[in-house]
């Protein structure tokens, strides 16, 4: 069975009949074929989304209560189907089943969270004097193209779909080519929840074949993109031609600062989790671990011990604690960085074992890898590797730690491990990053905020900020004279 596209409320083959295969990264085996769209499908999807926005049932005149009802129902269906969704996510992406379950649960919460917001989007009436009244109102931006990466397929899609639909936008989701399946499930869920035809469309297909058509389409008002900085920059340039609104959630090279006055066992374990969780395929992974010199050796030992305890395997196996990377191509890219690290003179202090069971020999595994004595100017400290590769850098004091941490083109996230609250807050303020965790790593509650400084992005997602990015603000001026 070929997984089809979802356009205008119908399941359909691609206009040119093109298909691609999606593989299980743990084994390299084909899971299924899926329809891969072309620019003709982009036209179909945009026309459907445009009509549903301009003529209803969605758009600025739709009922906030009705939007809420559908989003709440979608959350309920997601929770009902969580095991099926999580298994599909694990087989398509490689991540641990337990992590996939958490992603689904947080995604369902996002639908509930933004369902609640639909009835609370309000404007304001600033006082402009006795002769006039200024009404500031909020309206949906229009047709939104949502482009997502493969590392958190359901979560990243939900992070965009829920606020877009809550705001009254209609949407076309373009999932990443290696992980097309759960996005189609989201369409099925929204359909069952009662979402009218055309409001939400899923267009699988490669970025190289449909990306430009989506991004430059005159019927599209907004691009919400999560992915690499390289593709993000290309889209931003193209979108600027017609001044489309853009939100960019891009890559990172996030620093993780460990001070000697931290609760050290927690700091070492947290630092390891920060880079090895989800195989290091995390935009905010703490890939640069900065450690105060006085605890440098013991930190290397403790983090290596943690890495040695990780068991590579199929994400569906409950014994597995680290899955495969998403594709053979991505595995090769990460391995190339490990070679670059070795050649650049960084000290390889830990390299884990590959799985040996015969059914996993075709899988795309990269074992946890730790480089010590990394100079922050080295390639492995400056470029996003997006795999389980930790670069450890020593520092002497707070000022040096901040200076190394900020010496990056990226500014997505950072962790600070210390029990000195003054130091924690001082360092957090000085770090040029969109999110700073104190004595923790990676939590991203949907009610709060997500987004990057510098080349890690433009705009913000999650919380009210995520909703705002799908809204326009209009000023209606009423003359009260006479
Ligand atoms: P990617 O290669 O940039 O792809 C992201 C999405 O863009 C995919 O759907 C991709 O489709 C599509 N795309 C590729 N070329 C395009 C084009 N010319 N026009 C329009 N769309 C195009 O990134 P990835 O490898 O999937 O994901 C990893 C990256 O995402 C990392 O850099 C990571 O840091 C970043 N990320 C950031 C966040 C955040 O919140 N800041 C979260 C997660 C991931 P194809 O798959 O078909 O190429």
- For 82, phi then psi, to 5°, come to -60, -40
C-alpha 177 to ligand 1 mean position (Å): 10
The architecture that CATH gives domain 2-250+457-477 is: 3-Layer(aba) Sandwich (3.40)
Ligand 1 and 151: CB distance under 6 A: yes
Q: What is the pLDDT averaged over residues 436-453?
A: 98
Q: Is the pLDDT of residue 281 over 80?
A: yes
Angle among Cα 385, 443, 457 to the nearest 5 degrees reads: 50
- Read off the tokens for 34: 């899926």
- Separation of CA 295 and ligand 1 centre (Å): 37
Structure tokens at 344: 């650049």
Distant-in-sequence, close-in-space partners of 344: CB < 8 Å, separation ≥ 6: 378, 379, 380
Burial of 130 (0-12, 13-18, 19+ CB in 10 A): exposed
Contact status, residue 222 vs residue 383, Cβ threshold 8 Å: no
The residues, ordered by sequence, that sit 6+ positions from 42 with a Cβ below 8 Å of its Cβ are 172, 203, 210, 213, 214, 217
Q: Whose CA is nearest to atom 28 of ligand 1?
A: 227
Mean pLDDT of the chain: 98
Asked if 373 and 346 touch (Cβ cutoff 8 Å), the reply is yes
Q: Report, as an integer, the average pLDDT of 120-143.
A: 97
Domain boundaries for CATH 3.40.605.10 within the chain: 2-250+457-477
Q: 90-107, pLDDT tens digit by residue?
A: 999 999 999 999 999 999
Cβ neighbour number for residue 301 with a 10 Å cutoff: 13
Tens of pLDDT, residues 329-342: 999 999 999 999 99
Q: Is the pLDDT of residue 1 over 80?
A: no
Q: How far is the CA of 458 from the centre of ligand 1 (A)?
A: 15
Pick the CATH number of 255-445 from 3.40.50.150, 3.40.309.10, 3.20.20.70, 3.90.226.10: 3.40.309.10
Range 51-57 average pLDDT: 98
Atom of ligand 1 lying closest to residue 149 CA: 26
Please tell me the distance between residue 372's alpha carbon and the centre of ligand 1 in angstroms. Answer: 29
The predicted structure's pLDDT at residue 273:
98
Instruction: Give the tens place of pLDDT for each residue, 221-272.
Output: 999 999 999 999 999 999 999 999 999 999 999 999 999 999 999 999 999 9
From ligand 1's centre to the CA of 285, what distance in Å?
16
pLDDT on residue 467: 98
Identified catalytic residue from 283, 292, 384, 461: 283
Which residue has its alpha carbon closest to ligand 1 atom 13?
A: 207
211 lines ligand 1 (CB under 6 A): yes
pLDDT of the residue at 157? 98
Residue 32 pLDDT class (50, 70, 90 cuts): very high
> Measured from the CB, is residue 227 less than 6 Å from ligand 1?
yes
Q: How much is the average pLDDT of 378-403? A: 98
- Ligand 1: centre distance to CA 209 (Å): 14
- 3-class DSSP string for the chain: CEECEEECCEEECCCCCCEEEEECCCCCCEEEEEECCCHHHHHHHHHHHHHHHHCCCCCCCCCHHHHHHHHHHHHHHHHHCHHHHHHHHHHHHCCCHHHHHHHHHHHHHHHHHHHHHHCCCCCECCCCCCCEEEEEEEEECCEEEEECCCCCHHHHHHHHHHHHHHHCCEEEEECCCCCCHHHHHHHHHHHHCCCCCCCEEECCCCHHHHHHHHHHCCCCCEEEEECCHHHHHHHHHHHHCCCCEEEEECCCCCEEEECCCCCHHHHHHHHHHHHHHHHHCCCCCCCEEEEEHHHHHHHHHHHHHHHHCCCECCCCCCCCCECCCCCHHHHHHHHHHHHHHHHCCCEEEEECCCCCCHHHCCCCCCCCEEEECCCCCCHHHHCCCCCCEEEEEEECCHHHHHHHHHCCCEECEEEEECCCHHHHHHHHHHCCCCEEEECCCCCCCCCCCECCEECCEECCECHHHHHHCCEEEEEEEEECCC
Read off the pLDDT of each residue in 38-43 and give the average, rounded to a whole number.
98
Rounded distance between C-alpha atoms, residue 330 and residue 335, angstroms: 9
Residue among 231, 247, 412 whose CB has most ligand 1 atoms within 8 A, to mutate: 231
Mean pLDDT of 276-294: 98
Count the alpha carbons within 13 Å of 24 in the hemisphere toward its beta carbon. Answer: 19
CA dihedral 165, 167, 172, 177 (to 10 degrees): -80
**Cβ of 217 below 6 Å from ligand 1:** no
Question: What is the longest distance spanned by two Cα atoms in the chain?
Answer: 86
pTM above 0.75, yes or no: yes
Residues of the chain with CATH 3.40.309.10: 255-445
Q: How far is the CA of 173 from the centre of ligand 1 (A)?
A: 13
Q: What is the pLDDT of residue 2?
A: 85
* Whether the CB of 460 sits within 6 Å of ligand 1: no
Concerning whether 249 is annotated as a catalytic residue, the answer is: yes
Q: The tokens 């990676």 sit on which residue?
A: 442
Cis status of the peptide bond prior to 424, with omega within 30 of 0: no
Average pLDDT over residues 104-132: 97
Task: Examine the residue annotation and report whether 169 is marked as an active-site residue of this protein.
Answer: no
Whether residue 435 has pLDDT greater than 80: yes
Catalytic residue, from 112, 249, 384, 461: name it: 249
Query: Which of 149, 208, 222, 224 best tests ligand 1's pocket when mutated (most atoms within 8 Å of CB)?
Result: 149
Q: Is 388 in the pocket of ligand 1 (CB under 6 A)?
A: no
pLDDT at 482: 80
432 confidence band (pLDDT: 50, 70, 90): very high
Alpha carbon 148 to its chain's center: 7
The mean pLDDT value for 440-448 works out to 98
């Amino acid at each position: 069975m070929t997984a089809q596209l979802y356009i205008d409320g119908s399941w359909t083959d691609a206009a040119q009949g093109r298909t691609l295969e999606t593989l299980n990264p743990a084994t390299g085996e084909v899971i299924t074929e899926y329809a891969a769209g072309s620019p003709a499908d982009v036209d179909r999807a945009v026309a459907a989304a445009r009509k549903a926005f301009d003529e209803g049932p969605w758009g600025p005149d739709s009922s906030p209560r009705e939007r809420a009802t559908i989003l709440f129902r979608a959350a309920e269906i997601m929770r009902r189907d969580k095991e099926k969704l999580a298994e599909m996510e694990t087989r398509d992406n490689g991540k641990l089943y337990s992590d996939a379950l958490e992603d689904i649960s947080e995604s369902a919460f996002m639908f509930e969270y933004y369902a609640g917001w639909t009835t609370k989007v309000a404007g304001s009436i600033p006082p402009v004097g006795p002769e006039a009244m200024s009404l500031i109102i909020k309206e949906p931006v229009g047709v939104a193209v949502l482009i997502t990466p493969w590392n958190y397929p359901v979560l990243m899609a939900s992070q965009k779909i829920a606020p877009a639909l809550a705001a009254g936008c209609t949407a076309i989701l373009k999932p990443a080519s290696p992980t097309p399946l759960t996005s189609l499930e989201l369409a099925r869920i929204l359909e069952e929840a009662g979402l009218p035809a055309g409001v939400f469309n899923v267009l699988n297909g490669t970025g190289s074949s449909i990306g430009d058509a989506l991004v430059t389409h005159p019927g599209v008002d907004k691009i919400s993109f999560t992915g690499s900085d390289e593709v993000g920059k290309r889209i931003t340039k193209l979108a600027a031609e017609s001044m489309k609104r853009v939100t960019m959630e891009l890559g990172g090279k996030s620093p993780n600062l460990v001070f000697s006055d931290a609760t050290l066992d927690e700091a070492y374990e947290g630092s390891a989790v920060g880079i090895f969780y989800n195989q290091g395929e995390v935009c905010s992974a703490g890939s640069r671990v900065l450690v105060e010199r006085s605890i440098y050796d013991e930190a290397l030992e403790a983090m290596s011990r943690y890495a040695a305890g990780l068991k590579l395997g199929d994400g569906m196996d409950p014994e597995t604690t680290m899955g495969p990377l998403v594709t053979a191509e991505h595995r090769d890219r990460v391995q190339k960085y490990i070679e670059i690290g070795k050649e650049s003179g960084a000290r390889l202090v830990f390299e884990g074992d590959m799985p040996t069971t015969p059914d996993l020999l075709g899988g795309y595994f990269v074992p946890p890898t730790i480089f010590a004595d990394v100079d922050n100017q080295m390639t492995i400290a400056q470029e996003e590797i997006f795999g389980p590769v930790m670069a450890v850098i020593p520092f002497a004091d707070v000022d040096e730690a901040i200076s190394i941490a900020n010496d990056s083109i990226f500014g997505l996230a950072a962790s600070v491990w210390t029990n000195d609250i003054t130091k924690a807050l001082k360092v957090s303020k000085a770090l040029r990053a969109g999110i700073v965790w104190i004595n923790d790593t990676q939590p991203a509650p949907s009610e709060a905020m997500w987004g990057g400084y510098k080349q890690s992005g433009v705009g913000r997602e999650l919380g009210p900020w995520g909703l705002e990015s799908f809204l326009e603000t209009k000023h209606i001026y009423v003359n009260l004279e006479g």
